[in-house]
Structure 1
Amino acid sequence: MTIPEFSLRLQQGIAGGFAPPTPSAIVTITGIPAQNLLNITSAVRADGSPSLQDAAPKSISAQDAGTAALVTELRDILQSLPMEFPPGSQDIYGLDTSIAFGSDDFMWCNGGPQGCGGGVSDVQATDEQKAKFKRAVEIVKQLQTKDA
């Protein structure tokens, strides 16, 4: 199973309003099929810390069937989920978390580039869609913690 070329960014801490959101974690994953790798970087804000602290970047094999299956499941989930409208208006999944996923043939993002500004989205997620989004977040965290 080959992974597609893709880029993903997960941000915890997207609720904003008058002031921009204060992220507590940012994870980026880049799929590089030519090298059969996923490159993963992350930054986390410890409680009380004024800034995000970078973790050591790592690469994991994309040839592992479990890793490829997680990437496929993540993409399938995101393809089935709505995005808020207008972008950045509301955290319709209620997890204070955004995912931005991009590949040659598919783009998906919730939370807007500057977080959610406290508006109301014309699109609302169902309980089933919220559960799927929660699973998508779990998949990103599984990939983040996989051993190199």
Structure 2
Amino acid sequence: MAPSEFGARLQKGIVGGFAPPTPNLIINVDCNDGNLHITSATRAEGTPALGSPQTKTVAVADHETIIDELHGILKNLPTEQPPGSEDIYGFDTSIAWYSDDLQWYNGGPEGCGGGESSAKATEEDKKKFKRAIEIIKKISGEE
């Protein structure tokens, strides 16, 4: 079961190199007081920056089952080592989860800038990570 308070963040656009990555989508989900407080921003094709953030609040009860699923998925997935070295899932997407019982993130704080990770994702891990992306997008309404 997922904790009653947590934060999650999804960023599409984490692979960089010489220049830092340019995000196409950022979703932040903060859970407290029985509600999910969601902020999302997208970058339109051909524009240099994310658009204005959109916010909404929904009841945790509306998404409880898939939040539990997301928490369970992330608890068992590897992250790249060292952080930010390589996009081991191949989706150009990072997820961060912060709660009392789990601190998990992939992609490093500045995205993936190159190098090789000593940890690798299996095909099964990649399927689970793809499902985690789908869950966060569904919760936010960005699916």
The interval holding the TM-score normalised by the smaller chain is: over 0.9
State the partner residue of 2:13. 13
State the partner residue of 2:91. 95
1:86 aligned onto 2:82: yes
Name the CA distance, whole Å, in 1 between partners of 2:113 and 2:71.
26
Superposed CA RMSD? 1.4
1:106 aligned onto 2:102: yes
Look up the equivalent residue of 1:71 and give its one-letter code: I
Name the CA distance, whole Å, in 2 between partners of 1:22 and 1:86.
21
Q: Percent identity?
A: 53
Q: 1:2 to 1:26 in 2, by over 3 A?
A: closer
Q: Deviations over 1:67-113 (max 9, x none)?
A: 00111000000001001000000000000000010001210000000
SS in 2 for 1:59: strand
Look up the equivalent residue of 1:93 and give its one-letter code: Y
How many residues align? The count is 142
Q: Give runs of aligned pairs for residues 1-148 of structure 1, distance below 5 A.
A: 4-32=4-32, 35-64=33-62, 67-145=63-141
Give the superposition deviation at 1:54. Answer: 2.4
Look up the equivalent residue of 2:74 and give its one-letter code: L
Q: 1:2 to 1:96 in 2, by over 3 A?
A: closer
Look up the equivalent residue of 2:49 and give its one-letter code: S
Give the TM-score, by structure 1 length: 0.92
Give the superposition deviation at 1:2. Answer: 7.8
Q: Deviations over 1:125-146 (max 9, x none)?
A: 0000000000000000000118
